[in-house]
């Protein structure tokens, strides 16, 4: 992994949704690997603690709402001015609203697409050409195994994750002759604040205790557990290493064997 070999020394990595959960752990892992990490989220204030705790120097906190093109453009301009070219892009920001499909309104549908797909696309379009020109780059999209299969009550979420996996595969074909790689990570339920919200929702709607609701999610994996954020971050770091240069256009499930393709 990059954290063990220092593969990312001298590289600049942008991690969206870096203020908590998977994004925060990824930022820590990449900084361990020597990268200068630009941590992005909707509030730069929420990132201050994350950036302060990263090993190494020069890390940045940048306010960015990936669903807002103006916010994204302003953040990219700030990053270019303060950090230069981005070598590693981790599209991690995401939302996971749920509802029966007949109660999935246009706003919920559009929010899932804007954050989970369009935001990632804008950053790929803005940053990959410079990686190609520089003859090196890594792009990882944190998708979900909901991009590989279906789940009830998550029509908008599943549609957005299938879409972003398709985007990764299409971009991969276009840049395959360059030294830039792009891949998707597809975790199952990860032990994060987002999953805690899902557990609370299940408990509220079913009358189960939160411990019982957690067991519902754990039983979806053959390993009968939630994935931990460091497992996802370790795979991201591996994909960013030079040794992973042949891994390209893949959607890699990290879900204890729940989905097999």
Q: Which residues are catalytic?
A: 157
Count of CA atoms in the C-beta half-sphere (13 A) of 97 = 19
Alpha-carbon distances of 91 from 126, 212, 258, rounded to whole Å: 13, 32, 23
Distance of alpha carbon 184 from its chain centroid, rounded?
Answer: 8
Please give the Cα distance from 84 to 132 (Å, whole number). Answer: 15
Distance between CA atoms of residues 142 and 22, nearest Å: 9
Is residue 185 within 8 Å of 254, Cβ to Cβ? yes
Among 103, 104, 86, smallest CA distance to 95 is for: 104
In the sheet where 251-254 sits, what is the strand order? Answer: 60-63, 36-41, 12-16, 88-91, 137-142, 180-187, 251-254
Sign of the CA dihedral with 75 first, then 80, 83, and 87 last: positive
For the residues of 165-199, what is the DSSP string, one character each? HHHHHHHHHHTTTSSEEEEEEEESSBSSHHHHHHH
Name the residue among 189, 185, 207 with its Cα closest to residue 197: 189
């Amino acid at each position: 992994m990059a954290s063990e070999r220092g593969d990312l020394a001298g590289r600049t990595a942008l991690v969206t949704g870096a203020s908590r959960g998977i994004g925060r752990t990824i930022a820590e892992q990449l900084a361990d690997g020597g990268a200068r990490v630009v941590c992005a989220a909707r509030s730069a204030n929420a990132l201050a603690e994350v950036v302060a705790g990263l090993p190494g120097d020069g890390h940045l906190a940048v306010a960015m709402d990936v669903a807002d093109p103006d916010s994204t453009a302003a953040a990219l301009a700030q990053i270019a001015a303060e950090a230069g070219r981005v070598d590693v892009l981790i599209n991690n920001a995401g939302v996971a609203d749920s509802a029966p499909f007949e109660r999935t309104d246009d706003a919920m549908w559009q929010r899932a697409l804007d954050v989970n797909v369009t935001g990632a696309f804008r950053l790929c379009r803005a940053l990959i050409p410079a990686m190609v020109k520089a003859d090196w780059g890594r792009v990882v999209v944190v998708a979900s195994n909901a991009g590989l299969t279906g789940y009830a009550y998550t029509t908008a979420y599943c549609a957005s994750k299938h879409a972003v996996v398709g985007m990764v595969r299409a971009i991969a074909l276009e840049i395959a002759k360059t030294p830039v790689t792009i891949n998707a990570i597809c975790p199952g339920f990860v032990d994060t604040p987002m999953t805690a919200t899902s557990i609370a929702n299940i408990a509220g709607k079913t009358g189960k205790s939160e411990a019982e609701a957690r067991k519902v999610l754990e039983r979806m994996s053959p390993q009968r557990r939630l994935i931990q954020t460091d497992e996802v971050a370790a795979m991201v770091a591996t994909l960013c290493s030079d040794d992973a240069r042949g891994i390209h256009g893949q959607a890699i499930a990290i879900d204890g064997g729940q989905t097999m393709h």
